[in-house]
Structure 1
Amino acid sequence: MNSRSQWCKLAVLTLGVTAAAGASARTEIQNKGSDTLVNAAQSLAEQYGKINPNVAVAVSGGGSGTGIAAMINGTVDLANSSRKMSEKEIQAAQAKGRQPAEHIIGYDALAIYAHKNFPKDSITVTDLAKIYGRDGGATKWADLGITIPGCKGEIVVVSRQNNSGTYAYFKEAVLGEKGKFRQGTLDLHGSKDVADLVEKTPCAIGYSGLAYVTDHMKALCVAPEAGKPCVKPTEETAFNGTYPIARPLFMYTNGAPTGELKKYVDWIKSDAGQCIIEKEGYAPIKKVKCK
C-alpha cells in the first residue's frame, strides 16, 4: 500500500471514530404519554433541540396511562399525564424499585365542546352529569329543554378512551369518585378527534383540552349548577382555578431527575419553556412575559 492510500485509510478511520464519539455524546430523552400534552411536548422538544443540540427528546402519545406505565416499566424518562398518578400506579412503581417524582408544568381548562349551532353558550356541571353519567336521565337534548337546528335524535355523547388522563379527570370532576360513564359513548383516541367530530355533528357534545378548541365550534361557559355564574374556559381561569373543570398538567420522572434530564425539566419550568406552554394554549405555572 502506498503512502497516499495509507493516509486516506487513516483519515477515514479518524472520521469514523470522531462521528462515533459525537453520536455517543448525544443524550436521548424518551418522553411519552398524554395526548392532550403531545403537541406541547413536541414543541418543547423541538425548541430545546435548537438550544441544546446534544440532547434529542423523542416524543410520543398514547394516553396518560400509557406514559405512566412506560415510566413504571423503565422504558421512558418522562411520562406526560393530564391527571395525577393513582395510588395503585405509585405502588406498582415502588414494587419495581421506582420512586415517581411529580412535576407540574402547566394548567388546562378542560373545555366542553359543542357544535356551532348549539343554541346556548353555557352548561352546568349538573347537566353534564345527566348527559355523561350512567342513568343520568338525559339521552336527548329535549330532556334538557334544548332544541338544536339539524338535530332530532339522541345526544351524540363524545368521550375519550379510558387510558386517557382527560377521561379520568372528567369522570372525577363531573361524575364524582364513584360515578360511571353511560353506555354508548363514542370513545375517541385523541383531543383532535373529539374536536373534529363535534365540529361536524350538530347533536354532539364532547370534552378535551382548551388548546384544541377551534373557531368552528363553541367552547361552553360552565357553571357548577343552575343559578350559579358560569366561567369561560381560558388560560387565566385555568391558572386561578375559577373554571370548574380546570386541572394541572404533569410530567413524571423516576426519582428526582439528574443530568441532562434535570436540565430539560428545569428548562420546561423556566420562562422560555413556560412561554411555549402558553403558546400551545395552556396556562403556565407562573406569570411570564413572552415575546
Structure 2
Amino acid sequence: MKAKKPISILLSLLLIFALTLTGCSSETPASTDAENNQAEENQTAANEGTKEESTFKAQMTFNGSSTLAPVMSSIATDFIEGYTTWNKVDASFPEENIAIYVSAGGSGAGVKAVLDNTADFGMLAREIKDEELEKIGDAKVFKLGIDALTVSVNPENPILQIKDDLTTEEVRKIFSGEYKYWDEVESSLPHREIVVVIRDLSGGAHEVFQKSVMKDAQIREDAIQSPSMGALVTKVIENKDAIGYASFGMVNQNAGKLIPLKVDGIEATEENIVNGSYKISRPLIVVKRGELTPEQKAFMDAVTSEEGLAIVEKMGFVPVR
C-alpha cells in the first residue's frame, strides 16, 4: 500500500493541471486580422462622424480694435436679425441660435486673442506685422476698409478762424509738447494750454500715428490717453482747447462736432485716403488662425459682401471692394 502513494499523488497533480488548463481556455474563437481591421475602421469612422458633428459652433467671437468693433457689431446684428438660427443660413447647419460676440481692447489685443485662442477672430486697425503673421502661422487676413487719422480740433477752437492746415512738423511739435500753448502755434492765438488727446499706447492708432507723424519724437507725457477711439473723440468734443488724432470714420459719425485740419495742405477725403496722398491712413483688418469652419465662412462671406461693405461705408470708413 505504501508503494502506491506516490502514483496516486502524481495522478492527482496531473488531474489538477488538466482542470486548470480547461478553466483558462476561451469558448469564443479569436478574431481574424481582417475582422480586427474592419472593426478599427468602423470605430474610426464613428469617431470622425462624432468629431464633425461636435465641431459646429453656434457662436463665434471677435476681439481687438475699438475702431473696427462697432462695424463688426453692426454687421453681426444685421446677420443675426436676418437669420436668427444657423439652419436658415444653410440648411445643412443645425437649428441653433446664432451668437456673435464682439469686444474691443485694441489691435494688439486682437492679435493676442488669436494667438491665445481666446477669440476666433482678431480685429486690427493697422497693418499686421510680419512677426505677428509668423507667430499665428496659417493666418487668414481679411481687409475690410481703410481709415485715416485726422488731426482734429473742437469747433470752437480759435485756430479755425486763422488757419485750417498744419504741417507735419507743427503736428509733431504739438503732440510732443514742444508747443505747449496755442499762441506758440500761431502768435495771434490766445495763450491757452494745448490739450493733447491720444489713444492708449497699446492701441493700433498710436502705432500708426507714431510711425506716420512722430517718427523718433515721443508723445508728451501728460497727453490724455483714451481707452477707445470713441472716448478720444468725446474728449475733443468736450474741450475747445483739445486736439487729437480722430478716426476718419468717427469724424464722419460726429459731423460738425469736431473739425479735421489739413496736414501739409492735404485734406482727409475718401479720394485722398485711397490714392495715398493723405499719409496718416491705416487698414481695417480681421485675422484668423487656420481654415474657417463652414459657419465662420458663412458669416465672413456676409461681412465681405456688398451689404457688409455698405455698413463699413455707412460707418464712415472707406470700404475695400
Normalising by structure 1, report the TM-score.
Answer: 0.78
1:262 and 2:293 matched: no
Partner of 1:195: 233
Check the 8 A contact 2:195/2:241 in 1, yes or no.
yes
Partner of 1:13: none
Partner of 1:7: none
Deviation at residue 272 of structure 1 after TM alignment: 1.1
Partner of 1:231: 266
Of 115, 139, 146, 2:180 maps to 139
**Structure 2: 5+ residue stretches without partners:** 1-54, 87-97
Partner of 2:43: none
Q: How many aligned residue pairs are there?
A: 248
Partner of 2:24: none
Amino acid at match of 1:239: V
Indicate the RMSD between aligned Cα atoms, in angstroms.
2.1
Deviation at residue 244 of structure 1 after TM alignment: 2.1
SS of structure 2 residue aligned to 1:220: strand
Tell me: CA distance 1:157–1:106, structure 2 relative to 1, closer, same or farther (3 Å).
same
Distance, in Å, in 2 between the alignment partners of 1:201 and 1:185 is: 14
- Provide, for residues 80-106 of structure 1, a one-character-per-residue CA deviation record: whole Å limited to 9, x for no partner: 110123344344x34xxx433322110
Of 60, 76, 81, 1:29 maps to 60
Detail structure 1 runs of 4+ shifted over 4 Å in the superposition.
none
Deviation at residue 276 of structure 1 after TM alignment: 0.7
Partner of 2:123: 80
SS of structure 1 residue aligned to 2:319: coil
Check the 8 A contact 1:106/1:283 in 2, yes or no.
yes
Distance, in Å, in 2 between the alignment partners of 1:25 and 1:103 is: 22
Tell me: CA distance 1:188–1:245, structure 2 relative to 1, closer, same or farther (3 Å).
same
Check the 8 A contact 1:109/1:234 in 2, yes or no.
no
Distance, in Å, in 2 between the alignment partners of 1:171 and 1:186 is: 16
Deviation at residue 254 of structure 1 after TM alignment: 0.4
Check the 8 A contact 2:64/2:122 in 1, yes or no.
yes
- Structure 1 segment 1-291 matched on structure 2, within 5 A: 27-53=58-84, 54=86, 55-91=98-134, 93-94=135-136, 98-118=137-157, 119=160, 120-133=163-176, 137-145=178-186, 147-148=188-189, 152-176=191-215, 178-213=216-251, 214=254, 215-223=256-264, 230-286=265-321
Point out the structure with the larger helix share. 2
Tell me: CA distance 1:50–1:182, structure 2 relative to 1, closer, same or farther (3 Å).
same
Worse-superposed segment, 50-59 or 33-42 = 50-59
Check the 8 A contact 2:172/2:217 in 1, yes or no.
no
- Provide, for residues 130-177 of structure 1, a one-character-per-residue CA deviation record: whole Å limited to 9, x for no partner: 1123xx6222222222544xx53321111110121111111111112x
Distance, in Å, in 1 between the alignment partners of 2:296 and 2:275 is: 29
Deviation at residue 188 of structure 1 after TM alignment: 0.8
SS of structure 2 residue aligned to 1:183: coil
Distance, in Å, in 1 between the alignment partners of 2:246 and 2:145 is: 15
Distance, in Å, in 2 between the alignment partners of 1:249 and 1:170 is: 15
SS of structure 1 residue aligned to 2:179: coil
Tell me: CA distance 1:203–1:80, structure 2 relative to 1, closer, same or farther (3 Å).
same
- Provide, for residues 30-58 of structure 1, a one-character-per-residue CA deviation record: whole Å limited to 9, x for no partner: 01110111211110111121334323211
Check the 8 A contact 1:113/1:205 in 2, yes or no.
yes
Check the 8 A contact 1:70/1:79 in 2, yes or no.
yes
Normalising by structure 2, report the TM-score.
Answer: 0.71
Distance, in Å, in 2 between the alignment partners of 1:232 and 1:246 is: 12
Percent same amino acid among aligned pairs? 28
